Every structure is written in C-alpha cells, then in structure tokens.
Structure 1
Amino acid sequence: MEGPEVHSHHHGSHSGHRWFDLTASICAMVVSVASLYLAIHHGQVMQEMAEANARMVTATSWPRVSYSSSNTDAAGLTEQIRLTLTNKGIGPARIEGMELSYDGKPVASADALLKACCSGDKGEAPQRWMSSANGEILRPGEEKNFLRLNKAVDARQWARMADMPAKVAIKVCYCSVFDECWVTQSSANNKAEHVRACPANWTQYRD
C-alpha cells in the first residue's frame, strides 16, 4: 500500500537563508543605482565635452572687424583718403550691413558722402575708387578699402577731404561662419557687441 503523495515546493532562486537573500537583493539594487548614476554622469560629461568643443571651435573662428581711415596710400607715400575695414580676428567675417554717417547724418552712398563733404566750388567730385563691403567675406587679416580719394588739385577741396574722416562714423554688422553676429561702431572705439541678428533699420551704405 502506497503512502500519501508528497508535493515539493520550489522557491525560485532563494537559497533558503533569509539574510543571504536579503543581502543579495540589496547588493543588486546598489549595483543598479550605481550603474544608473554612472550612465547619467557619463552623459553629462559627454555633453560638457561637446559644449567645450563647440566653444573652442567658435573661439578659433571668431572674426573681429574694425574701421580705420588714413590720409596716405598703403605705402604711406602719396596723399590719399582711405576708409578701410579690417578683419583683425582669427576667423572669416561676412559683412551683413554697414551704416556710414557724416557729421551725424547717415548717407547712403559714396556720392552722397562726397556731395556732403567735399564738393569743390563748382560742385565737382574728386577722383575716387569705391568698392561695396556689404556681402563681402573678409579673411583673417584682410583689409578692404571701401572708399579711396585721390588728392584734389584744388587746395580748398583737398582741405575738406582731409577733414572728412574725422566727421565720419561707421557701424558695421558682420557674422562668423557659424552665424554668430557682432556690431562694431567707430564711435565706441571699434568695440564689438554680440547681437542675435543684424539691425534691419539702418540706412545701408552702398557704393
């Protein structure tokens, strides 16, 4: 005669030692939390590295455009009026806009500037070379003479021409290859101000 059937109960991976199982569970939880922390920290480190690399790339591509004027040619030998933009930065500069004022009033072209400052007794304009700066890309170290005036034969006209740069004020907006933009003003000693976009309300100076 057979005895009653005995059923065995399986308890998964439990060892039968309560404290051992509890300790193993706690260790597993600690490892999981530590892994999560390391993953989050690694992500933050990678993001910080990416931001640092982006700042470094931006810094090595930073343009800086300034305005200057001269009463001689580039060699310093011939009397000549030159109005010049120079990229003194370490990255290319894209000229997006320029406003030129003479004696506090914006002028829209070289002809308007010369009429305001330098017409002779008969109203003739001095010989000149003009080159638009708007839309131009200046390489690091590159200069652009956007206006050159030869010395006038008429002494009084040349005197007015020689005085003209002192009454000229320039505002220029330019951007880097990463579309970061700045405004430089000659009235602020060519200090560059970071802007979100180039101003749309300027009286644009054209050649």
Structure 2
Amino acid sequence: MRSSRIRLIEIIVAVAVTIISVASLFVAVFQGVVMQRQLEASVLPIPTIAHGNYDSEEQVHRLSYYIGNRGLGPVDIRWLHFIHEGVTYPGPIPYFVSLVEGYDDDPEGREEAFQQIFEDNQVLTNPVAPQLLAPDDEAGFIHFTRPAEGTPDRAYWERLNAARWESEVQVCYCSVFDQCWIGRFPQNQRDRVRSCELNR
C-alpha cells in the first residue's frame, strides 16, 4: 500500500515536472518571437517619394524627384517602377523617354530626342536601384531646370511636370532582415512580399 502511494506521488511529480518544462519552453519560444518582432520593428524602413518643380534656394523652376527613408533602419531599394496611363515603366528613364512626343512609330528616334533634351539642358540623373539609404537619408534621381519659354524642350518639361501628378510610383524594398515590401505612391500603401526581383 505504501509502495503504491509512493509510486503515485512519483507519477504526479513527474507529470508536474513535464508540464512545467513544456510551459517553460512555450514561454521561451514566445519571448523569442516577441523579441524578434521588436527587433524587426526597431529597424523598420519607410521609403518615401517626393517631387517638386521649384528650387527655393536658387529660386528657379526645377523639376526634381527624390526617394528618401523615414524609417528607423536602412532601406534596401531593389527596384522602382513608374505607372502612367496604365503602362508600367521599369525605372525612371523609360518613363521619362515615354513622354517625348512625335515618335510613336520610331522608338530609336524617341530615345535620341530624349537624350538630346537631357544633354542640351544638362539634366542631372542618378540611379535609383539598387540603392541603400540610411534612416533620414534622401537621394534625388532627376533635377531638370525649366527651359526657356517657347522651345520644344520647354514643352517636354511641361509634360513631365504635369505627368508627375498623374503617375504612380512603385518601389520594392527590403529591411536588414530581408523582409520585403512593395510601396505605392502617392497612395502611401505597402504590401508585404516574399522577395524583390532585381531584374524585374
């Protein structure tokens, strides 16, 4: 009888130890998940897209586009697309080229005209992606001073100036933990994705 009672106590103790061990494991795993999420949130990148048509410092009409990072951690820009009138352009330059008029059946002629416009007006352009931006950092990827009135280049500048309000910009970017999103501007929306394709 005494032996049975001791065995029962041993079983109860063993079950209690098992329950405590499982509970401790659950707490440890849960704490690990919470800490990981806190760490991810502490380096969350938040890219921004801004554009304007006036340089207040130099007091000249200058069309500019900027990409920035208002997040807590660095943002890894993988690609940037422009969407205008239902057409997606893989990067700023194809989008800018598309706004050159009069070459619907001559893509090469349109490309040459675009290059001539940018050369004649000393338009400054910089690559957008791939690019790594630190928190509170900002990079301009086009600076185009308004040409003289009545010139073909001025007409192109005006089209580009008007189109920036009618276009959507999509940016695929990742955090230092390789978490990736697609951001949409000017909607300021973002959707989580598995990865970004550099050559998309």
CA RMSD of aligned residues (A): 2.5
Taking the TM superposition and a 5 Å limit, the aligned residue runs for 1:32-111 are: 32-73=14-55, 75=57, 77-108=59-90, 110-111=92-93
Larger radius of gyration: 1
Q: Is the alpha carbon distance of 1:197 and 1:110 closer, same or farther for their aligned partners in structure 2, counting shifts above 3 Å?
A: closer
Q: Distance in 1 between matches of 2:183 and 2:88?
A: 16
Matches within 5 A, 1:110-189: 110-117=92-99, 123=113, 124-125=116-117, 126-155=121-150, 156-157=154-155, 158-186=157-185, 189=187
How far residue 127 of structure 1 moved from its aligned partner, in angstroms, is 2.9
Q: Report SS of the residue matched to 1:85.
A: strand
CA displacement at 1:48 relative to structure 2: 0.4
SS of 2:164 mapped into structure 1: helix
| TM value normalised by structure 2 | 0.79
Deviations 1:68-98 (A, max 9, x none): 2111237483321111112121111101111
How far off its partner does 1:66 sit? 2.1
State the alpha-carbon separation in 2 of the partners of residues 174 and 69 from structure 1.
19
Greater fraction of residues in helix: 2
CA-CA distance at 1:133 after TM superposition: 1.2
Choose the corresponding residue for 2:194, options 181, 191, 196: 196
Q: What is the CA deviation profile of residues 125-167 of structure 1, one whole-angstrom value per residue up to 9, with x for unaligned ones? A: 1431111111100111111111111121235424334323123
Stretches of structure 1 lacking an aligned partner (at least 5 in a row): 1-17, 203-207
Q: Is the CA contact 2:45–2:175 (under 8 Å) kept in the aligned structure 1?
A: yes
For residue 100 of structure 1, report the CA deviation from its aligned partner: 1.6
2:25 is aligned with what amino acid?
A: G
TM-score between both structures, scaled by the size of structure 1: 0.77
